[in-house]
């Protein structure tokens, strides 16, 4: 219960300024004993002698389970992690009487407010509550905080850290295995037990394009067991991108179907178009001439001569029936 008035001394007949205004009867509101000449505490509902106040309003220490007497003024504002034991957050003055400390709904004698592990006083120290236990920062960190993988020191609560794959680093300890610079919030690439910033990893491990010699960070195509950027893998003739398209090669250089046909493919003696063989296309050769399957027809009756006998007549190819009419 909050105190509305500090302890007061009433000594009858000694010229007390309140004596002339007080009624003859000035008794404890609980035990009804006279308070003249005695210490008392004024509550909202009346004055109480010290024993009655302690019995009805004093808090019980959460540690020793004994009453916290009236002579221990409550220290307000003592929350987890704050220092000081006075109401204004500063340490007690030398010679001051012990104080009542509290955290959440628990109250303590000042000498009972101690770390549950090392028994160190928490009256002027930061502390943390772990379950029902109050721990000093050193004990809490030793038991519950992570240790940095790099320096093996405790990662203090509230400090900047990085966690990856179940491990913890101080932010300044998580550095690139190549350039030794802190990676911080930048992207990184793990490689076994090493960690690299993206520029170092690309420089050290990433494949390089056969054409432009720059690193491939994503995608790309492989031609003749060599890596290429998609935009770099183009037809040697017309420079059209070949990724995802049909292509062939000549002297190890890639060509699209059209360029290869125009530059290197045999020409059909009938339609004069290139014979590329793409799409399952077949062709017929005779001496130094070539035809698409569907172009190898009798020059007179247009009958297909594929798989049949034929008679050459100068530049023409004739079926046997048409040649017999000559």
Q: What is the pLDDT of residues 208-255, one digit of tens each?
A: 898 898 888 777 898 888 899 999 999 999 999 998 888 888 888 999
Region 11-22: mean pLDDT is 32
In the structure, what pLDDT confidence band is assigned to residue 136 with cuts at 50, 70 and 90? confident
Dist. CA 151–CA 196, nearest whole Å: 18
Identify the CATH assignment for 206-263 out of 1.10.10.350, 3.30.1540.10, 2.10.110.10, 1.10.1470.10.
2.10.110.10
Query: pLDDT value at position 279?
Result: 53
Which tokens hold the place of 106?
């628990």
* Pairwise CA distance, residues 284 & 136, whole Å: 93
pLDDT for the residue 294: 85
More confident residue, 200 or 278: 200
pLDDT band, residue 173 (cuts 50/70/90): very high
- Asked if residues 314 and 323 have their Cβ atoms less than 8 Å apart, the reply is no
CATH number of 25-78+99-143: 2.10.110.10
The answer on pLDDT for 13 being more than 80 is no
Whole-angstrom distance, CA of residue 102 vs CA of residue 59: 10
Residue 89, classed as helix, strand or coil, is: coil
220-258 in b/e form (b: 16+ CB < 10 A) is bbeeeeebbbbebbbbbbeeeebbeeebbeeeeebbbbe
224 vs 37: CA distance, rounded Å: 108
Q: How far is CA 305 from CA 200, 267, 312, 325, in A?
A: 65, 18, 12, 17
Closest residue by Cα to residue 161 from 184, 142, 140: 184
pLDDT higher at 4 or 36: 36
pLDDT at position 81 is 36
185 pLDDT tier (thresholds 50, 70, 90): confident
Domain 265-325 fold is: 2.10.110
Domain 161-203 has CATH 3.40.50.1820: no
Average pLDDT of the chain is: 78
pLDDT of residue 239: 93
Tokens of 102: 């509290």
Residue 300: CB atoms within 10 Å: 16
Indicate if the pLDDT at residue 156 is higher than 60: yes
Domain with CATH 2.10.110.10 in the chain: 25-78+99-143, 161-203, 206-263, 265-325
Average pLDDT score over residue span 298-311: 88
Q: What residues have CB less than 8 Å from 233, skipping those under 6 apart?
A: 211, 221, 223, 241, 242, 243, 254
Give residues with Cβ within 8 angstroms of 24, minimum separation 6: none
Count of C-beta atoms within a 10 Å radius of residue 98: 17
Mean pLDDT of 122-127: 82
Separation between Cα atoms, residue 37 and residue 15, nearest integer Å: 12
Confidence (pLDDT) at 280: 54
Q: 132 pLDDT band (50/70/90 cuts)? A: confident
User: Residue 191 pLDDT > 60, yes or no?
Assistant: yes
Contact 280, 293 (CB under 8 A): no
Per-residue pLDDT at 78 exceeds 60: no
Enter the tokens of residue 301. Answer: 């009756």
Which of left, alpha, beta for 234 (phi over 0: left; psi -120 to 50: alpha)? beta
Distance CA 178, CA 304 (A): 70
Q: Sort strands 221-223 and 226-228 into parallel, antiparallel or unpaired.
A: antiparallel
At residue 309 the predicted structure's pLDDT band, cuts being 50, 70 and 90, is confident
Say whether pLDDT at 76 is over 70: no
- The stretch 47-68 carries a mean pLDDT of 87
């Amino acid at each position: 219960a909050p105190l509305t008035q500090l302890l007061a001394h009433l000594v009858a007949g000694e010229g007390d300024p309140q004596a002339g205004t007080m009624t003859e009867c000035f008794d404890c509101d609980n035990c009804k004993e006279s308070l003249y000449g005695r210490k008392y505490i004024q509550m909202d509902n009346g004055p109480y002698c010290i024993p009655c106040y302690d019995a009805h309003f004093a808090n019980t220490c959460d540690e020793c389970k004994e009453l916290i007497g009236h002579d221990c003024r409550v220290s307000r504002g003592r929350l987890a992690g704050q220092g000081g034991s006075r109401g204004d957050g500063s340490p007690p003055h030398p010679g001051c009487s012990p104080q009542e400390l509290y955290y959440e709904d628990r109250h303590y004698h000042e000498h009972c407010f101690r770390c549950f592990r090392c028994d160190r006083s928490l009256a002027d120290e930061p502390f943390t509550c772990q379950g029902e236990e109050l721990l000093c920062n050193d004990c809490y960190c030793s038991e519950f905080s992570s240790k940095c993988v790099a320096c093996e020191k405790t990662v203090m609560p509230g400090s900047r850290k990085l966690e990856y794959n179940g491990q913890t680093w101080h932010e300044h300890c998580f550095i690139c295995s190549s350039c030794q610079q802190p990676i911080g919030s930048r992207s990184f690439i793990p490689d076994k037990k090493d960690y690299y910033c993206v520029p170092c990893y690309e420089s050290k491990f990433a494949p390089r394009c056969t054409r432009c010699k720059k690193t491939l960070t994503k995608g790309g195509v492989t031609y003749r067991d060599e890596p290429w950027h998609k935009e770099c893998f183009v037809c040697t003739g017309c420079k059209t991108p070949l990724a995802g398209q049909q292509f062939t090669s000549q002297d190890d250089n890639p060509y699209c179907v059209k360029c290869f046909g125009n530059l290197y493919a045999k020409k059909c003696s009938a339609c004069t178009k290139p014979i590329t063989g793409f799409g399952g296309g077949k062709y017929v050769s005779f001496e130094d001439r070539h035809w698409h399957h569907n172009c190898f027809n009798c020059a007179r009756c247009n009958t297909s001569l594929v798989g049949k006998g034929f008679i050459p007549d100068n530049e023409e190819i004739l079926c046997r029936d048409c040649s017999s009419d000559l």
